[in-house]
Every structure is written in structure tokens, then in C-alpha cells.
Structure 1
Amino acid sequence: MAPRVVSPLLLLFPLLISLLRLSHGAGIAVYWGQNGNEGSLADACNTGNYQFVNIAFLSTFGGGQTPQLNLAGHCDPTTNGCTIFSDQIKGCQANGIKVLLSLGGASGSYTLNSADEATQLANYLWNNFLGGQSSSRPLGDAVLDGIDFDIEAGGGSHWDELAQALNGFSSQKKVYLSAAPQCPIPDAHLDSAIKTGLFDYVWVQFYNNPPCQYSSGNTNNLINSWNQWTSSQAKQLFLGVPASTAAAGSGFIPADVLTSQVLPTIKSSPKYGGVMIWDRYNDGQSGYSNAIKGSV
């Protein structure tokens, strides 16, 4: 019998499949910036636990206000003190970690009152944090990977126009967009924005919302809500969880429950992207990401 000749294309096929899996691999996102005792941005990235870090927050903008960072005790943005994180951002990115600037937060002074304000903010973000140029870049010359929408105030209008305006810059350099809606559907602030289909990552906050979160050993409400979210226009969907009971008012999922009951169920979704943790300080205290990273 003649020897069987294997096509080089067939030999490449398993490699291509593995590369595709890696490129769409699940990961852990974390919020950093709201506790001066959580360590530096470099410390967070050097754990090797996170694939995404959201710098939180740009908490003042819109309504004629000058946009303003608030990184708690880490630095004073009014004296250009936050430029010290430029090299740390670059170091995180060199390790394959996407670093995004998060807009909003639970307490801030922010709003968008018109499409024009949305366009102005997009231009500001592009020039001061992304691929554009400005003499007043609050985080120095580091070029962030994208913008996160953690909008919990300021109404529900014009966030879609902000997303569209930011996405317009992707013809020059890809601007990744993420959003952190609450788990009740529709989200009070980000519904129209998410419906644009422009968000690469949507990390839903499955906490502080009893109707759609884990509670007292019961995963049903959480899973039911997750299944509803899989029908959204999010490209990838992340399960947002608190890192400890201290990190949120309710909705904490013990790590063993997450890994044995929740993740095996939700990972069957084609949109599953991973887990988002609030926040770096509490994760450092509890070791939550260490406990779950092998299962994400």
C-alpha cells in the first residue's frame, strides 16, 4: 500500500484552531483606582491574574465641566500627578493586558446633555487618553486601549452617540469599548448604547441587584438573568462579581460556588468572555481572582 500523504494544510488546522481559541480566550477584568491602599497599577498587572484593567474613574465631565480624573489616593490629577502611571500602563500592555479608562462610577458629577457634548467628549478622550495628541494628557503619553462605560447616573441619553463617536476613531487605531450595566434589563443608562452593537466587552454587574443576582445558595436568578443578557448586542459577555462581601452590598458569590455551579453553566454561551471583579483592593484582600482564575 502506498504511504499516506498528509496535506500540510491538515497539519496546520489544529494549530489554527488553537490560535483562534487563544484569541477569543476568556479572562478576568478588574477595576483599579478607587483605593489608595490597593497597590500600584503595575502591582495589579504583575499578578498575572487579569487580562483587562479598568482605570477608575473619569468621574467629572459634561454640562460644561472640565473633564476630571478621580483616582482616589493614588495621585493628584490637578498637578499632573497621575502621569506617573504612564510607564506602568505601557508595562501592563507589554504583558498583553488591555488597559481602559472607565467613565462614570457610582458617585461623580457627569452627564451628557446633547449629541454635541457626546462628540466633544469623544474628541477629548481620543486626544487625551487614546491615539490623539494633546499637551495635557492626564496619564502621560501612554495610549490606552479603550474606554469603559460605568454609567450609573446622568440619564440614559447620548451614550450611544458617545460610543459611535469613539468607534469612529477606530479607523486610525482600534478603540475597544466596554460597558458595565446593572443586571436588570433594560439598563437604565446604557440600554441604547449597548444596542449599537459596538461594545467589545459587556461586564454586567450581577450584584447590588437582588432580582438578578446570587443569593443564599440560589443561583437561579443569576443564571436566568445571564441567559437574558446573552441575547443582547454585546460581542462578549462577562459575569460581574464583587471580590468579597465588603466589596458590594449584596450578591457576593463564594469562589467555590462560582467555580462549581455558575461558571460550568454560563461558559456554554458563545458570548461568554470571562469574569469582571470589583475591585482590585478587595481582590487583593480576599484572593478571589487567585481562587477562580483556573476555572475562568
Structure 2
Amino acid sequence: MPPIPPSPTSRIVIYYQTQHNPDGTPCSILPIITNANIAVTHVNVAAIHLNDPPGNITLNDHVPAHPRYVTLWAELRVLQASGIKVLGMLGGAAKGSFTRLDLDEATFEAYYIPLRDLVRERSLDGLDLDVEEPMTLAGVIRLIDRLKNDFGPEFIITLAPVAAALMSDNPNHNLSGFSYEALEVMRGKQIGWYNTQFYCGWGDLSKTEGFDFMVSRGYSAEKIVVGMVTNPGNGSGWVPFEILQEVLITLKTRYPGFGGVMGWEYFNSLPGDRAAPWEWAALMTKILGGKPSTDASTSLTSDTHANPAKGNQNPFLLVDGDVKDKIEAPIPKGFEYYSDGSLDE
């Protein structure tokens, strides 16, 4: 498939896990291409789980070939024909997939080969590795190397770390177990970008401090896609649009190669909610594709979240007023997703 043509926007990535309405009818993803002025670049269909025994793969709670997914797979092919890249999201909040891929070679092969076959069968353009359980650095490198070997250099591999994982090597700030800094050094050329979770207490997208600090640590601005919850019901950390717009325009202006945005998740995205979830993508297209006004790009220069120098201070170190002693910010231990996988059948 030819690459997506150049766009005035950065990446706009949609996570698509809740694929059905409460009445069981499909929650169609096609409006992102049938409505004007939407420039989504990637859709991550979620979530693929590797279960026991080897070969027992589910998309959320059902096998990928289940009749309930007939419309889903057909629509995703239409998206691909329209130039949007479709990736599968592996893992997520439901643990086990990466533990099984992190064992001895024979066990790895037993679980990996059916995953490889699924990617081929569904013609996925890549995999998003959402490692939310302990995994070794050697284990994730083995997986990345095997995917590149089997599918070639054009196959897209992304990861979905919590924002804190790109700000600190403290294991308490990381759901994945391995160091993303070490992974970037060793396999950065094989990784397309990081869908970075700035929500559920792991990051704050109401200011640019976190992004600025990641760049100061050596991560390329082009590889940081800022992730947000698209509705307060999808998790804590939702940022009102008037604040979010200011932050995104600042990032786009400050970093010409700004990586883009991702939204968790599609089905109830604001401002349209369930009735028009594609409106989030239209809004992101407008914010990232339009030319920022002079006021929007300069009005924050006196504030900490628009000052790269101040942004070089780790946002996970708090300063209380005039007190100069820094303390570690509290980090949440877990959170829940609300999606197809958690809805009653």
C-alpha cells in the first residue's frame, strides 16, 4: 500500500477498542473518512490478547474471526484503501500477553507464530505494543527484532508508555518493567514513535512541561505522540479543549517536527460523544493543521508550561512555593479502561 500523502497535520492516532454500541450494533469508524476536514493518519484496533494455550488469541473477549467483527474488519480495509494505516494494539490493561512472549525461545515461538499469522491474515500495517506488565528489555527487543524480520522495514512498530516512563527511569514510574531510555538507544531506529499516555495520573497535558522534559532527556519531538483521554469517562486526566488547544499549538510551534496526538478512545470522543465521535478527530485536524495565531503562539511565554527552560525540570519533582526541597510526586498504581472488554454482553 502506498504511504500516506503529506499532510499539514502531525500524526492523529485513534484507538478503537469499543467497537459496538450498547444495543450490539457496530460503532462505525468510517465517519473519519466520510466527513470532510478530518486527517486521521493511524487507527489502532484494540486489544489483542495472547491467552493460554498458545494460539488462543482474542480481540477483547472474542476470537478475531467471530461474526461480531465482520463489519469491523471490512471497515478497517476501507480505511487502509483510503490511506490510513491500521495497527493492532497488543496487550493493554489485561495482563499476560507480554509475560508469555518473555519466556524461553520455544515458548516465545509458540505464542508468537499465531500472532504473526493474525497480522498477516488481517493485513495489519503494524503493531502497537502496549506493555502494561513487567517485561525484560531483552524480551521486548526480541519481539521487535522478530517483527521487523518477518514483516520488513515498512512494518510500523510503536509503543504506548505512560508519560512518566519517558521522564524517569524509576521503576515506580513505569508499567512496562524495562527502561525506555535503554530501548530507544538500542532499538530506536526500529520504533516509529511512542503513543505516550498523559492521563490517569501518569502525565499532565494541561501544560507542556512533560513534553519539554522528554525532549530535554534526548527523545525526539517527532517520536512523542501525546496521548489523551477523549472523554472524562475513559479515565482521569481529561483536559478541557480551550486549554488543550493552547498546549497543542504551543508544542506544534515550538517543535516543527511535533509527533502528534492520540486519543483513547474513539466511541465516545468529545465534543460529539457517542452521537458523533469523529468530531474529536476533526477538532485535532483543525488545531494541528491550521496556522497558529500570533496570540496563541506567544501568549504563554511568561508561563511555566510554555517555557522550555522551566520545562527542563522533571515535572515529577514538585516544589512547594518557596520551599526548595523537591519531593517525588505520588504515582498511581493502577487504573481501569472502560471499553468493549468491560461491557456486559
Q: Same fold (TM over 0.5)?
A: yes
Q: 2:198 aligns with which of 191, 206, 223?
A: 206
Partner residue of 1:177? 157
Tell me, in whole angstroms, the C-alpha distance in 2 between the residues paired with 1:147 and 1:228.
28
Over 3 Å counting, the alpha-carbon distance change for 1:232 and 1:118 in structure 2 is farther
Over 3 Å counting, the alpha-carbon distance change for 1:108 and 1:40 in structure 2 is farther
Over 3 Å counting, the alpha-carbon distance change for 1:80 and 1:36 in structure 2 is closer
Partner residue of 2:59? 70
Determine helix, strand or coil for the equivalent of 2:20.
coil
Over 3 Å counting, the alpha-carbon distance change for 1:77 and 1:54 in structure 2 is same
Normalising by structure 2, we get a TM-score of 0.64
RMSD across aligned positions (CA): 3.2
Post-superposition offset of 1:258: 1.9
Tell me, in whole angstroms, the C-alpha distance in 2 between the residues paired with 1:207 and 1:25.
23
Q: Are residue 222 (structure 1) and residue 181 (structure 2) matched?
A: no
Structure showing greater relative contact order (alpha-carbon pairs closer than 8 Å, 6 or more residues apart): 2
> Which ranges of structure 1 fall in alignment gaps of 5 or more residues?
1-19, 131-136
Q: Are residue 282 (structure 1) and residue 265 (structure 2) matched?
A: no
Over 3 Å counting, the alpha-carbon distance change for 1:123 and 1:46 in structure 2 is farther
Over 3 Å counting, the alpha-carbon distance change for 1:76 and 1:169 in structure 2 is closer
Tell me, in whole angstroms, the C-alpha distance in 2 between the residues paired with 1:233 and 1:262.
16
Q: 1:168 aligns with which of 145, 149, 163?
A: 149
Determine helix, strand or coil for the equivalent of 2:225.
strand
Determine helix, strand or coil for the equivalent of 2:255.
coil
Tell me, in whole angstroms, the C-alpha distance in 2 between the residues paired with 1:153 and 1:78.
27
Deviation digits for residues 176-195 of structure 1 (CA, Å, limit 9, x no counterpart): 11111001134441625444
Determine helix, strand or coil for the equivalent of 1:282.
coil
Q: Give percent identity, aligned residues only.
A: 20
Tell me, in whole angstroms, the C-alpha distance in 1 between the residues paired with 2:129 and 2:78.
24
Q: Are residue 144 (structure 1) and residue 134 (structure 2) matched?
A: no
Tell me, in whole angstroms, the C-alpha distance in 1 between the residues paired with 2:144 and 2:245.
33
Partner residue of 1:86? 73
Tell me, in whole angstroms, the C-alpha distance in 2 between the residues paired with 1:291 and 1:23.
15
Post-superposition offset of 1:236: 2.5
Partner residue of 2:133? 153
Post-superposition offset of 1:156: 3.9
Q: 2:254 aligns with which of 268, 274, 277?
A: 268
Partner residue of 2:296? none
- Whichever residue aligns with residue 165 of structure 1, its letter is R
Post-superposition offset of 1:57: 0.6
Partner residue of 1:241? 228
**Contact conserved, 1:119 with 1:162, CA < 8 A, in 2?**
no
Partner residue of 1:50? 40
Normalising by structure 1, we get a TM-score of 0.73
Partner residue of 1:16? none
Q: 1:293 aligns with which of 285, 292, 303?
A: 285
- Whichever residue aligns with residue 95 of structure 1, its letter is S
Identify, as 1 or 2, the structure richer in strand: 1
Tell me, in whole angstroms, the C-alpha distance in 1 between the residues paired with 2:11 and 2:223.
11
**Contact conserved, 2:134 with 2:175, CA < 8 A, in 1?**
no
Partner residue of 2:14? 30
**Contact conserved, 1:101 with 1:147, CA < 8 A, in 2?**
yes
